[in-house]
Structure 1
């Protein structure tokens, strides 16, 4: 902490304001330390993957070989940055209760956000939860934002999906939502909306550019709730692979989810087609 910042906090006369300011600054400093530790591990892994030995990395960095080995095994794992850095925000949509006409959150969305929160905290990330309100208005121009929502519930989120250069949400002629790969021409339709029905759903997973062009938003949802749970299952099991494929860049893919017809829980979750890396604007 810069001496001037420490002096500013120490000079606060009101003890309650001092306590609040010191706590907030300490939390921010702890997050910064965690991200620096993550960055060190990432650099060492990248250099080693490029062919350098740990001894060579140590010599070039002016550190001992033992210290390099210690660094690569301590601190948050680099792949956690797939979700974001510091404090991430997970937003799930409110829906209109069909009977009592009050705002509610779908149980599957609650489950998905809780599992994602547990995963993020395991990587040393702080997590804040919020809702996309009825009507769908949400500020997407924020760092480290994860949105679990489809285009039907939010025009704002719908416009974000429309920025995807390859994949799109489209309604089938008979009404159900589908996912369409414009590059291959493939249409992904949920098994629930097919004849005969099947315990298979499809979901969108991507990182798209914020409307203000100053960052990205990680966004996903299933055609039906089972697909949403499947995306979380995929991220949880394959976050290291996903990070290796796209790191923090923009991308999108369709996820195929087979689920238990009784519980709705995912049995398998895997990419249904290519994982597209988008050209940064």
Structure 2
């Protein structure tokens, strides 16, 4: 903790305000420690991947070789930064219940949020949940934001998806995903004849509207696709992180699911993984 913060808190006369200020600063300090540990481990892994030995890294960093090995194998894994850093905000959409005007959250979105929260906690990341309200208005200009919502429920999200240089949402009877580069279209099996237990989902990191950062977004054409993206992230986040890091990208995820339960059986990339700086 910087001495200025320590001195400021120590100078608070009201004991209750002091307790509150100290607690808030400790929470922030813990997040900083976590992210510094993640950063340190990531850099060691990157240097070693470039062919630099642990002994060389230790010598240049002024640490022992044993300490470098310890850092490499302890602390939060670097790939957790694929989701964000510190405290993540996850937004899922409210929908209007079919038989009345009450707003509800789809059970699949609740399940996806819970599984994503479990994944984040495994990387020592905190996660706060909120909802995209009916009408779809949401502030996208915030750090560490993940949104599970498609263009149907939110014009704000629809405008964001339009910034993707390669993939687009198309309303062709049913919603489909189209690859502008290859011309391929991805239509859910639920909207095909005959119906098949296959869905497709968008996954990408796009620029915030204010240009001051990025946000992670994903959603299936149908809820099964959303669950499939979380399944893919759970099993392949290290690979995805290695391919795109914190940079902007987008891809289509193909999901096969159990028709009885809607649970994903297999989830994999159905399109190329497009790095936007290369498109």
**Interval containing the TM-score (normalised by the shorter chain):** over 0.9
Q: TM-score, normalised by structure 1?
A: 0.98
Determine the C-alpha separation between the residues in 2 that align with 1:236 and 1:11: 46
Counterpart position of 1:144: 144
Which of structure 1's runs of 4+ aligned residues deviate more than 4 A? none
Question: Residue 52 of structure 1: CA displacement?
Answer: 0.7
Judge conservation of contact 1:207–1:218 (CA < 8 Å) in 2: yes
CA distance in 2, matches of 1:133, 1:15: 39
In the alignment, structure 1 segments of 5+ residues that lack a partner are none
Which one of the candidate residues 223, 226, 233 is aligned to 2:224?
Answer: 226
User: By how many angstroms is 1:35 displaced?
Assistant: 0.3
Partner of 2:176, secondary structure, is: strand
Q: 1:95 Cα deviation (Å)? A: 0.6
Which deviates more from structure 2 when the two are superposed, residues 10-19 or residues 231-240? 10-19
- Report the equivalent of 2:265: 267
Aligned partner of 2:236 in structure 1 is 238
> Do 1:250 and 1:280's aligned partners in 2 also have CA atoms closer than 8 Å?
no
Q: Do structure 1's residue 183 and structure 2's residue 163 form an aligned pair?
A: no
What residue ranges of structure 2 are gaps of 5+ in the alignment? Answer: none
Q: Cα deviations across residues 91-112 of structure 1 (Å, max 9, x unaligned)?
A: 0000111112111000000100
CA offsets, 1:21-73, max 9 Å, x none? 11111000000000000001000000000001111111111111001001111
Q: Report the 3-state secondary structure (helix = DSSP H, G, I; strand = E; otherwise coil) of the residue aligned with 1:168.
A: strand
Equivalent residue of 1:279, what SS? helix
Q: For residue 277 of structure 2, give the secondary structure of its aligned residue in structure 1.
A: coil
Q: Distance in 2 between matches of 1:62 and 1:12?
A: 39
Structure 2 residue aligned with 1:195: 193
Q: Which residue of structure 2 lines up, in the alignment, with residue 8 of structure 1? A: 8
CA drift at 1:177: 0.2
**Whole-angstrom CA distance in 2 between matches of 1:98 and 1:14:** 52
* Count of aligned positions: 279
Name the TM-score, length of structure 2 as normaliser: 0.99
2:268 is the alignment partner of 1:277? no
| Deviation by residue 1:190-245 (Cα, 9 ceiling, x = unmatched) | 00000100000000000000000000010000000000000000000000000000
- The structural deviation recorded for 1:280 is 8.4
C-alpha distance in 2, partners of 1:196/1:280?
Answer: 38
Quickly say closer, same or farther: Cα 1:239–1:150, change in 2 above 3 A. Answer: same
Distance 2:47 2:269 in 1: 29
Task: Report the counterpart of residue 208 of structure 2 in structure 1.
Answer: 210
